[in-house]
Structures are given as C-alpha cells and as structure tokens.
Structure 1
Amino acid sequence: MDLCLLIHSPSPTPSNHVPVITSQPPLVDIVLPSELGPTVILPGLSPPANSSPPLSALFITQPEQPARPLMTIPPIPSSLNSVATLSSTRVFVDTGGATSFAGRHPLKDVQEPRFRVRGSKTDAAKLHEAVKVAERAEKASNLRDGVDAIVKSQDSEIKELSERLCVTEKTIRNLVNGETHYKKRCEPNTFNALVHMASNEMNSDLGPGDRHTLKDIQETVRHGMDNDAFSKSHISEAMQMLKDSREVRTMGSRSSNTTAYADARAMAASITDKIMNLGMRTGVTGIALFAKGHIHDDFADTIVQFNDSATFFLDVFNMEAVDVCSKFQQWVCNQKQNFKVPDNLQTAQNECATLIKRGLCMITNIPNLGMNYLNYRTSIVQKHHVQLLGWPAGIPFVNPHQLTTTTTARELQKALTVSTCKWVDIEGGQSTGKKRKQRSDKGKKRKHTMATNDKEDQEDEEDEDDNQENERPGPTKKHKSAASTKRSTAAGNKSKAAGTSRKSKVTPSAAKKASRILGTLPPAAPKSNEFIDTEEESDG
C-alpha cells in the first residue's frame, strides 16, 4: 500500500518510532482488524528493534517500486492520547489564501468552520452506549404500543360521536387532528438571546467534550430570569448579539474554497428542484444561470431549465445556452462585487448620495447630472420638471454628507432603498416659479394721483382733434395726411408720457400749450419704404 491508515491504541507510542505516509493515493483497499497493537508496520520498512510485530497485524507484500517522495509526520509525544488528542487539538488552516472568497473580501464576516470530534472509547463506554441504545429501542416500542391503543380508542369514540350528532367522521377527525405543520421562523426573543449570550460566556474557555450542555445553560438562564438578574441593557445587548450571530451564519463568507463550493453546489441543487417542481405544479417555465464570481473559485457554471427553456437563447439571440452562460461568467468575473461593508456614518452617507444621484439621472435620462441641494427649486424642479418626494420629515433637506448622526443617515438610506423617497415627474402647472419679492412699502398708505393725470390726457386728446379738423387735407394727399395723423398721434402720446413723467413740475396750462404748438409743426418724413404719390404723378 502507498497510503496506510494509522490506528493507535491508548497505550503510549514508542518515542523513537516515526510513522511515514506517502503522498500517492492508495492502489488497493485493505481492511485491517480492529484489535491492532500500538505499532503499524509499513511495507518495505523494518520494525523497530525494541518492538515486535503484533499477531493481528496484516502484512501485504508488493513488488518493488521506484522511490517516491515521502511526507514525514513529526513524532507524537508519549504523554498524549493519539486519536483523541489529534482530533481535539486540530487547528483550521485556510489553504485558499488570497484566492478564496473570504480572502478577497476581508471586510465581510467569516463563518467559523465546524469540526466533528471523535475520540477513542473504552470497552466500558461502548457497553454503556449499547445499553442506552437498547433502552431507547424498548422505549420507542412502548411508545408505539401506547399510541396504537390511543388511536383505537379514538376511532371508537369518533364513530360513536358521529352517530350521535349525525356528523361525518371526516369532519370530526379534521377537528381533532387540526394541527398545522407549518411553523414560522423562530424570531429572536429574550430567552433565546440570553441563552446564546450565556453559552458564549460559559463555553468560551472550554474545549470540545468539556462544554456545558444546552439544558444546563437554559436552566441557568431561567433561574436568572426568575430572580430578575438581567438588566434592560444586558437584554438589549444579548438581542443584538443574537441578531449579529444569525446574520453571520446566514450571509457570512465561507472560510475556504472547499466549503464555498459545497455551499454553492447544494444551493444550486435546491434551486433546481424548486424550479422543476414549480413547473410541474403550475406550468411556470423558468431558467437560471449560475456562474462563479472569481476565476479561482471551484464552482462549475450551471444552467437550470424547465421544459427545454434554454432553447430560447438559440431561437431569439441565435446563441447556444452554453455560450450565454460562458459570457455571463466572463461578465461576472470582470464586475466589481459590492458586498455589504461595515455600517457606519460614512457608508450610509455615500449610499444616500449615490441613490439620489442615480435616481435623478434615470428619471431625467441625462447621464452624470449632478444634484443641486442649494438651488433645488430652480436648478432641478423648474428646469427638469422632476421632484424628490417622500423625504423624511425629521431630516433637513441637505447634502447627505452634511448629516452628522448615523441614525438620520440610516433613516434616509432606508427611505431611499424601499422607495418611500423617490423621484417623480411633475406637470408644467405644478412647478411653481420663484416667489416675487414683496413691496418695501407694503401695508403703508400711498398717494393717489391717477385723477389729475386722466384730466390732462383728456384735454390733450381734445386739442389734437381740433388740429386735425382745421387741416382738412385734400384727396391727393391721403398718404401724407395719414402719415401726419400718425405722427401727430405719436407726438401726442409722447407728450402724454412726458406730461405724466413730469406731473410734479409741469402745470396743466403749459402742457396744453406745448401740445398745440406741436400740432402746428409740419409732419416728419415717413420712415417706411412706402412710396407717396405727388400731384405731378397723378396728373400724368
């Protein structure tokens, strides 16, 4: 044999004997008897001088083979029990290193690996266990007999009650056996939290085999609860510790590539069964692609399909499902995986700012559009016709990086994550502009001069009408008179504006005289490109 099984008895091992194990896999299967001595003879090696081979040892001769590299195990101290000591003192070593999932994400919590401790048992311990097994078997037999007797008596009572009340036996059985088998998940409660905390405190310094049992820990916690030995702060700390422990067991990183591969394979198989069963029950067709997240992972790409749904890629995209899965695996390996980082103020602020900006860019369809918190109404609402609704009431509308407490940052982060605070489009009538500034003399009594100005304007209009009647233009000067009329009207309007602006200095008589003089002046040349017919052109 190239690989031998080391079996040690409780008796001490000679210190000068060093067992040797080759690195090659075994070539044949060998069954060794259970009553072996403390020494195992390897093929091709001579036994120690001070020891003789036991009678029950099994020797197998094999042809001579070329020498191969050997891996040497250091000698075991004589004061230690071989199998039990090796199992209890084994220390976990992650062979994956930086290529494992936990090594690539050092900020994530890691699940502690669990080892099964198996120690050698004496003959008395084996006999005691055999007696306990026989007792359990007898107890189970008595339990079955008792349950059968109860069922028989129950059947007769159900039949009698059915005949007396004229009710079917099925209805009575449903009422008697009406117990659901569906149980909700055990939510964290005070008792479980205290038991978890007490277990960590009582068994932290004890090794495997010496730790307190769950029943003893529960009795200790019940005694403390009856005597009110736990304060509110202690209970809240225990609740938080239990929640953190459950979160680590649910989402903690696997410590090595082997455990990560086993977890991924088991979960993929579970999802495969669920998709297949769902399709058989309801006809819902689904397809799932599983790809490893890193090139050093051991997981193999997997395609889960129902009712040959993988042909969808070939019929629609003209690509084989295997090629799609391969491209998906390449895309996943090139992506940066963002996992949950330690929850603190800075991370909450960064996530809030990212969610706000991402939602603004998506709703406006403008990439890299920055959020303006100071001029939010003008730069965002009025310009892009969008609005951020659902901002928590107790949080000021400022840049998330200006929030100073973790509680407010987490509250805003939760509102943005569950979409209670989100961006929405608004119509044109809903967006209000900037409010006009109020008058400086609001609430004060002001002077009214509108009556005087109206009288002056009326007198100016009467003078203009008199001037137009005195001129009486001929039929050949229609355009000229029209231009003069427009000019006089414009001059009159100008005089009105001048009179209105100088209402505090110019008297009504002076304004009337100025308007009369302006009416007697010759009309100005027209500024338009219109041609004016003269008398000579009309005669010709």
Structure 2
Amino acid sequence: MVRASITSLQTTNSQISPTEIPADANNSSWAARNPNRPVLMSRAPLNAAQKAQANARRASRKFSTAQRKETEDALTSAIQQLLADQNDKINAIALEHGVTQDKVKKLMGGEKHYKGHRNVQLANALIHVKAQEVNADRPRGAKYSLDEIREMVKDDEALQNLSLQDQQEYIDRLNEHRALRNMSVRASNTAAACDAQSTLDNVFKMLDALAVRTGIYACLFASRGHVYDTAQATWFGTNNVMDFWEDVLQMEADEIARKLEQWACMAGRNIDERETVQNMQRVCTRLLNSGLRTVAKRRDIRINYANFDVAIKEKLGIDIRGWPEGVPFQSPTSLNDLNALLKIRDALKDGSCRWFRLSPRQREEYSAQLAARRKKGEVVGKPRKKRADAGVQRKRKGKENAPPRKRARGSGSSTQAPKSTEYVETTDEDNTSGDDV
C-alpha cells in the first residue's frame, strides 16, 4: 500500500479563502454550513462515576472474551478431530469400493452456504423500537445493553404476534433511521475528521485486498472541502500506480493532492451549493457518456438522444436499463428539474441505471420491430432537417481556384529529361536586349 498525507498547503489562507460569504454566517463546521441537513450529535463526555462503570464493564467484557475464546478453541479442536476421522473413513470407503475420494464426498452431499445481503430483519427492527423507548431519556453510561433490550422484547406481549402491516412498519422505521444516519452531517470538525480518517482507512484496506485478489490498479485522492475543516489531504495507490501520474502527466501525487485541496477550499461549497441544476447536469452528462464509452469501447462516441433507437440501440446494439421512473429519457442538459437530475445521478452511481449490450438475438428482434414500424409508414427517430438549398449544385469550398489535376502518366510512356540551362537556346530578341544594356 502506498499512502501519503498532505499536512498543510504551501499557499496562505487568503489565497484559498472561501467564496464571498456573509460576515455573520457561521462557517466553523460542516454542519454549520449545511443548516438544513440532519446532524449527528457528538456524545457528551463521561463523568467520574460513568467512567468507573465503563471500566468495570470493559473488564467484565475482557474476562468474558477470554472465556469465550477458550470455549471456541476447544470446539475448534473437536471439529478438527472430527474432520480428520471423517477423512480416514472416506479414504477407507474409497479403497474398499475402488472409487476416488472426490466421488465419495460428492455422493455424501455437500452444500455451499452463501452469505446474503444484510437486509433489515424483524428482530432488529423490534430491538430498535424498544431501544428508542427505554434508552431515550437515560444518560450515557446508564443505558440498557443489547442483551437486556432483547429480553425486554421477548417479555413485551405487544411486540409478539404482530400483523404483517405492523411488522413492515417497524422495518420501515429502522430503514429510515439507518438512511438518516448515513445521510446526516457531522456536528463538529473533529468528528468529521475522525469519520473521514476511519472510513478512508477501511477503503484503503479493501482496495489493497482487491488489488491482491484481482490484480487491478486503483488510486484515490481525498481533500477537505473548506479552510476551516481539519481533515488532511491524502492520496492512496495500489502497487506502483502512482508512477502513472509522474510518467504520463508529469505530476507528482503530492502536487495533485495540493491542487485538489486548493480548488476545494477556494470553492468552499456546502451540499446545496454543490447540488445545483448546472452541476448536476454536468455530472449526469459525464456519467452517461463515460458509461456508454466503456461499453462501446470507443472514445469518440456521444449519446444521440433524438435518434437513440436507431443510432445507439440498433446500430451499436447498446441499450440502457434502470432509467428512473417519471423522468423523461432526454439529455440532462435539457432537464431543469433538480429532483429528476438527482434521481438520475443516484441511479447511475449505485448501478441501478447502467448501459448493457444486447445479445445477437435481442438485436435481431429489435431490428425486426423497427423494420415493421417503418413498413407501416411510421417515422422512426427524428429525421435530419432538410437544407434550404437542397438539390442545388454547390461549389466546393476552396476548390474553385485550385490548379487542374495532373493526369497520371502511363507505365509504358517514355520520359524526357528536362533541358539543362547550358543548352537553352537564346533568341535574337534576348541578345539584342542584352546588348542594349
């Protein structure tokens, strides 16, 4: 893993000051610059009694963890012994019946248990509801633990034998709570910096592991978004990917991170200022064209929205799926609805809206459908506008004064050497003019 942090800018704060902001505005934190967003409040510090209780619980958990580890080690040893005995029996059966061990294992039957998505379960939703009920007014350090809340849920008759509607309501409440926490802003610069550092560390570890498993190259640049923020600019790269910036673009990673930090701090925008109609139009256009170029494997292609059925879907065999419902399929630059643009951006980012190639059979069926529509007299796509001087012969630009084209000389024709100036005969007029001079 290659990683570096840029601790400070070489430019002064006056050079990277935010854009013009009212003097009475509070810009001290990310939450203050986004007053219309929900805030994740920081925890209050513990007092002496609460610290003592926390230390006692920490010691109790440490003792419980040691006991649990001993139990798990004993269970692991027993399972390993069982597997060893099982392999000996499988080998004996294979030798007795003259078959391979793989065949015996296959006949014994095996299952692969794949880990599914961690969707919201009813048990988690009930625990969440009960925790909000009993821990809402209790101070930190005196809240009920997860095991205690789980027992409360079992003892609460109102949470047993719920109807399907009530169950779905509790699940929706937990989904809403999780979404709110993911989309809320940090209350202070310190909390924001800690969150950024912790999340980036996890991302770096995942990218390193992914590079080992798949051999991909990945690089990442991160910067604070305001001069008052305390997060450090940093960059990360797998293996020797940072050589690309130096060899191809002639820029070092530190320089790129500094320029990114300077650009972000010069703007100093909050979420609402970033999510404007103009910015979202550019972002959606960039994502759509980039996805199409990746699927088509062409760098010079752009989306023809007016003739999409013919120019893209029929000619290239490429289509798009997952376009947001209620949003017309047209160029993002023609949309002035911010909510519609945000839907397109979110769908493109999470992968629910993406480009894909049609199979040969799908392509043939679609071409047949377009041919049937044309046969009925229907105009497929938007025809090009006819020129006002259509049918009139026009001169080619720049060709009227061009010299006539030389005729090609045949291979059998004889060639004549040019005359030398030594043997050019002069006329009497030339001689006369020369004598007069």
**TM-score normalised according to structure 2 size:** 0.50
Give the structure, 1 or 2, with the largest relative contact order (CA under 8 Å, sep 6 or more). 2
- Greater radius of gyration (CA): 1
Give TM-score scaled by structure 1 length: 0.42
